[in-house]
Amino acid sequence: MTLKKTLTIAGSDTSGGAGIQADLKTFQEHGTYGMTALTVIVTMNPDNHWSHNVYSLPIDVLKAQIKTALSTGVDAIKTGMLSTEEVIQTAGEAITESGLDHVVIDPVMVCKGEDEVLNPGNVDAMVKYLLPKAEIVTPNLFEAGQLAGTKTPKTIDDMKVVAEKIHSLGARNVVIKGGKQLEHAKAADLFYDGKTFTLLEAEKSETHYNHGAGCTFAAAITANLANGLAVKEAVIEAKKFVTAAIANGWKLNDYVGPVMHGAKNRFGAPEITTTVV
């Protein structure tokens, strides 16, 4: 038996909830074979309120990992935390070399709970090297505003304008995550395929244990695409996966609570509604 192969080019979250750890757990839950190319290692300091340190790996080490993975043949690629413009360019070149359509760009700009943007030049580099290659890009509200060069969207109408702008920059599909930030009764995300806007809504969990939600959502989309789902179905199924993961988020320590990546397969799929808006 062979498995579909999914590659994540992303950072290591040592605490295990986000980054490549989230990606690999999510790939496994979807029955795909996960591979990794690490960009950075993030550690957390228990002596200083769990503050994050980001250690970049040498670019040659990143390139060697990408070469290893691509040599095996890959069915879908996801990008996550990319620390510098050079790393972003390298990820873009890897996508071109792979010749793949199934490319999920999660434009990670900050860690949850941290408010410092990784590197201000990264946004322009993502627009230049990654958006034109994205089968789908998965920004949260802040990231969407940054990519579009607008204010952070606050309403669903704002999200529509920003999604159109990001689509015009080359991403073939866009899903903007409203999540907890959006002032809306449900946890709502807006999906745009260049023609139709679809609002995906799920029950909002009143939890702070949501570390890794964004990575898990994008990794689930990646695995679903590798497994042959059409883009919109891949997003809807990923929304079920991440909604269950958040609803079962749990306390790791006094500072962080990761999502439970395997919750949907253990406890069942939550209901998602889709509405053309």
Min dist CB 127 to ligand PLP, Å, is 19
Interface mask toward ligand PLP for 204-223; x: CB under 6 A: -------xxxxx--------
Q: Which of 112, 154, 160, 184 binds ligand PLP (CB under 6 A)?
A: 112
180 binds, options ligand PLP, ligand ADP, none, Cβ within 5 to 8 A by partner type: ligand ADP
Looking at beta carbons only, is 129 or 191 nearer to ligand ADP? 191
Looking at beta carbons only, is 10 or 88 nearer to ligand PLP? 10
69 binds, options ligand ADP, ligand PLP, none, Cβ within 5 to 8 A by partner type: none
Query: 262: burial class by Cβ within 10 Å (0-12, 13-18, 19+)?
Result: middle
Residue with the CB atom nearest ligand ADP in the bound state: 214
Sign of dihedral through CA atoms 139, 171, 173, 168? Answer: positive
Alpha-carbon distance of 195 to 202, in angstroms, equals 23
Of 242, 17, 100, residue with least CA distance to 91: 100
160 binds, options ligand PLP, ligand ADP, none, Cβ within 5 to 8 A by partner type: none
Of 168, 118, 119, 176, residue with least CA distance to 144: 176
Min dist CB 176 to ligand PLP, Å, is 14
Min dist CB 219 to ligand PLP, Å, is 9
| DSSP states of 132-158 | GG-SEE--BHHHHHHHHTSPPP-SHHH
81 binds, options ligand PLP, ligand ADP, none, Cβ within 5 to 8 A by partner type: ligand PLP
Bridge-partner residues for 51, per DSSP? Answer: 45
| DSSP states of 26-95 | HHHHTT-EEEEEEEEEEEEETTTTTEEEEEEPPHHHHHHHHHHHHHT--SEEEE----SHHHHHHHHHHH
Q: Map tokens 């940054």 to a residue.
A: 146
Q: Which residues bind ligand ADP (CB under 6 A)?
A: 112, 140, 177-180, 187, 189, 202, 204-205, 210, 213-214, 217, 239, 242-243, 246
First to last CA, the chain: 42
Interface mask toward ligand PLP for 5-24; x: CB under 6 A: -----xxxx----xx-----
Looking at beta carbons only, is 12 or 224 nearer to ligand PLP? 12
Looking at beta carbons only, is 126 or 202 nearer to ligand ADP? 202
Min dist CB 211 to ligand ADP, Å, is 8
Alpha-carbon distance of 50 to 41, in angstroms, equals 15
Residues that bind ligand PLP (CB under 6 A): 10-13, 18-19, 42, 80-81, 108, 111-112, 211-215
